[in-house]
Homo-oligomer: A and B are copies of this chain.
Amino acid sequence: MALIVEKTTTGREYKVKDMHQADFGRLELELAEVEMPGLMSCRVEFGPSQPFKGARITGSLHMTIQTAVLIETLTALGAEVRWCSCNIFSTQDHAAAAIARDSAAVFAWKGETLQEYWWCTERALDWGPGGGPDLIIDDGGDATLLIHEGVKAEEDFEKSGKVPDPSSTDNAEFQIVLSIIRDGLKTDPKRYHKMKQRLVGVSEETTTGVKRLYQMQANGTLLFPAINVNDSVTKSKFDNLYGCRHSLPDGLMRATDVMIAGKVAVVCGYGDVGKGCAAAMKQAGARVIVTEIDPICALQALMEGLQVLTLEDVVSEADIFVTTTGNKDIIMVHHMRKMKNNAIVCNIGHFDNEIDMHGLETYPGVKRITIKPQTDRWVFPDTKSGIIILAEGRLMNLGCATGHPSFVMSCSFTNQVIAQLELWKEKSTGKYEKKVYVLPKHLDEKVAALHLGKLGAKLTILTKDQADYIRIPVEGPYKPAHYRY
């Protein structure tokens, strides 16, 4: 696509695949609203007081129907919003169109190149000459990364006149990041400093991004306050677990129509995502084998009747391989060569480097046959045996299906709204330093409570006497901070 920003009749910027899909997006958005009681409750509770009046929010988070409901919750609370996706395949084009037409500046489409991806990220951060956003909602930390790298480069440039050199790295994606910053330096050598200055804080959605934040905190390089939304119980124990339990089989079915029952599925990693994936595969009738580095998680897998082995032990007899680790180099090309014909290999962890896509692409004589978008068969020249790679090694639930369903994303995104409200409310109080915070437990419990009615649940209320007996307030929080759920 030509990277030219378009404008709506009202003058709002956007770049999406096809504006004609806006009506379809709107219909699905309306369905999703019914499934997202947490977000809709926020609109009812906070909408009237317009707490985000004057706030500019930039989001870098999968531009799906669910995210669309989040964006319109933010705007319903008074915010101005610019958005990009945090994954080249995760955008739902009808969702992007509906939001671009009706509510916010969107720069996202399904199937971006890496170049396009970072252009979109830059657009979402670019609020014009007055600096960047007040608040960021980040997923994986790419928006945060760009600002941090930008600030660093500007400092170097100021000190030494040096500009970033893309050829200094052989990571193709980081080369693009450096190019963008380098080019930016030419037009405005204080661009990222201005952003940093304006920024009140970021709320981060996912494990990978959170890890980056804690590292920066540890290194003392974090430039603004951050709220770790990922580790809200109602996020990590819900969306990571129940979301993946839903969307892994969904992605497998849409991409390959494969029968899961009777198959051998290898789940690499048994964290929250891995637990959801293993449960899904087991329930669908697969025999599940888990690989783990952590003996505690391994023992949990065993207690559920799963086998725990190494990838080497099972590589040639399994049918489905799923990486969920958040680490890299999990399934290498030498593993893939030993797999059964048409073994399915996919990633639902975070980055595409869980699978050795580079090794596969550069394997001598390998042949790629695209069955349909995001479903490729790669054939090895020697064995004539093929493997099926989903979503080019990127998040298969977003690449091959529609990601997590609305209800569980309502939990995650209600945490986001609350985190953003908190950052914005405390913007001048100094409550939040340049550190990483988690939301207090009573807010976590509130998020859960907002989702019970939709499912017909009724809570038991403690008597005062009972509450005193276990020394907690009647209205909660009900658990100590270290409680694991």
Point out residues on A near B: beta carbons under 8 Å: 24, 27-28, 31-32, 34-35, 65, 211, 214-215, 231, 233-234, 236-238, 242, 245-246, 249-250, 253-254, 256-264, 272, 282-288, 291-300, 302-311, 313, 317, 326-329, 341-342, 369, 371-372, 377, 388, 401-402, 405-408, 411, 438, 444-446, 448-449, 451-452, 455-463, 465-466, 469-471, 476, 478-480, 482, 484-485
Contact pick for A305, options B282, B310, B326, B451, CB 8 Å: B282
Which B residue's beta carbon lies closest to that of A288? Answer: B305
Check A297 against B485 for contact (C-beta < 8 Å). yes
25 residue pairs from A and B, CB less than 8 Å apart: A27-B369, A28-B257, A65-B257, A231-B482, A242-B261, A257-B402, A259-B405, A261-B302, A262-B305, A287-B306, A292-B459, A292-B460, A293-B459, A293-B460, A294-B478, A294-B479, A295-B449, A296-B445, A297-B485, A298-B452, A299-B451, A300-B485, A317-B456, A327-B466, A482-B482
Give A470 to B172 CA distance when docked, in angstroms.
Answer: 20
- For residue A350, give the distance in angstroms from its CB to the closest CB of chain B: 11
**B contact residues around A459 at 8 Å (CB):** 292-293, 295, 298, 308, 310
Contact pick for A237, options B304, B388, B484, CB 8 Å: B484
CB contact under 8 A between A35 and B258, given known A445-B294, A448-B295, A485-B297: yes
- For residue A102, give the distance in angstroms from its CB to the closest CB of chain B: 17
Contact pick for A326, options B452, B470, B484, CB 8 Å: B470
Q: Which 7 A-B residue pairings sit nearest by Cβ, starting from the closest?
A: A259-B405, A283-B283, A308-B457, A295-B448, A295-B449, A259-B407, A294-B478
Give A287 to B308 CA distance when docked, in angstroms.
Answer: 11
**B contact residues around A260 at 8 Å (CB):** 246, 405
Check A458 against B310 for contact (C-beta < 8 Å). yes
- Tell me which of A215, A407, A411, A476 has the highest count of chain B C-beta atoms within 10 A of its own C-beta: A407
- For residue A454, give the distance in angstroms from its CB to the closest CB of chain B: 8
**B contact residues around A485 at 8 Å (CB):** 296-297, 300, 484
**B contact residues around A463 at 8 Å (CB):** 329
Give A291 to B460 CA distance when docked, in angstroms.
Answer: 6
Give A271 to B230 CA distance when docked, in angstroms.
Answer: 21
Give A253 to B328 CA distance when docked, in angstroms.
Answer: 30
**Given A28-B371, A308-B455, A328-B469, 13 other A-B contacts at CB below 8 A?**
A35-B342, A238-B299, A245-B261, A246-B253, A253-B254, A261-B407, A262-B303, A287-B305, A287-B307, A294-B445, A295-B448, A311-B460, A329-B463
**B contact residues around A253 at 8 Å (CB):** 246, 250, 253-254, 401, 405
